[in-house]
Structure formats: C-alpha cells, structure tokens
Amino acid sequence: MRVFANLRALFSRGTLHFNSLELRVLRETMRRLDPGSAKRMQRRMEQVNLVQRLEGGEEVNSYQMVGGRPNLDRSTALRSGSGESLLASFSVTCGRGERVAGRIWLVDGVLFSLEFDKPTEGLLDAESLTISVELAPVDAASEGAVAPSET
C-alpha cells in the first residue's frame, strides 16, 4: 500500500511528508500554541499525505487526500472562519548566516501552506538552524481560536 501512496505523490508532483526544515518550523510554531491547538495541528500534520513544493520550496502546500480528493478535516482547525488566514510569521537562520523568512497559512482554519521568501533547497542540509516564530494576532472578525470543545 505504501508503494501506491508513494507513486501517487510522485505523479502529483509532491511527496508524502513535510521535509526536515518544514517540520522544524511547524514544530516550533506548535510550541507557541495553546495545548489544544498544538494537538489539533499535530493531528493535521499526521493526516497530510501529499506535500507539493513550488519554486524550489518557496511555496509548500499540504493536503490530506481521501479517495483521490483533498479533504480539510475541520476537527483539526486552529481558528474559526472561512477562507485564508495567517497563522504565523517565522524566520530561519542557519549557522553560516543565511536567513529565510516566511509565513504559515490556514485555509478555513486548517493548516495548509508555508510560504518562504526565497527557495529553501539550500537550507535542507544545514545542521545548525535558529527558528523564530511569531503567531499572528487573531482577527476579531473571524471569532478567534476554535473552542476547546471542538478538539
């Protein structure tokens, strides 16, 4: 079954999982969230089975594919509301001083994409990384964070 999933990701021009840099940024973001939101984000990351990278990793879109179609599991939503919203901004600095900045985006409150300000391929092998994350303010119009009862 795993072979079929690997082939599907390959033909979809993607991979099955986030790469090491993306995982480190997402985990650092989770550390800034309240425990319930962190748990929902972890569940979403585990559901993702197609990660597509564009422009050398500048844009990273993640999908949970179910029956050949993308699925946004609302039980993993970090915020209420619909459409795109910003979850966090971040910067990554490697030991040799190279820096990349980016943002993490939600779609309908669910983790969907990471945007970097330049290609990230050169940072994948960097051993020493410093990651700084700042959560975006919750937009009052979108009613804020998802209530804990929705976990």
* The predicted structure's pLDDT at residue 51: 95
Percent pLDDT > 70 in the chain is 79
Distance between first and last Cα of the chain = 30
Q: What is the pLDDT of residues 14-63, one digit of tens each?
A: 889 999 899 999 999 999 999 999 999 999 999 999 999 998 889 999 99
Residue 144 pLDDT grade (very low, low, confident, very high; cuts 50, 70, 90)? very low
Q: What is the dihedral of CA 142, 145, 149, 151, to 10 degrees?
A: 110
Q: How far apart are CA 45 and CA 79, in angstroms?
A: 16
The helix/strand/coil state of 120 is coil
pLDDT, tens digit, 9 for 90 and up, residues 127-139: 788 999 999 998 6
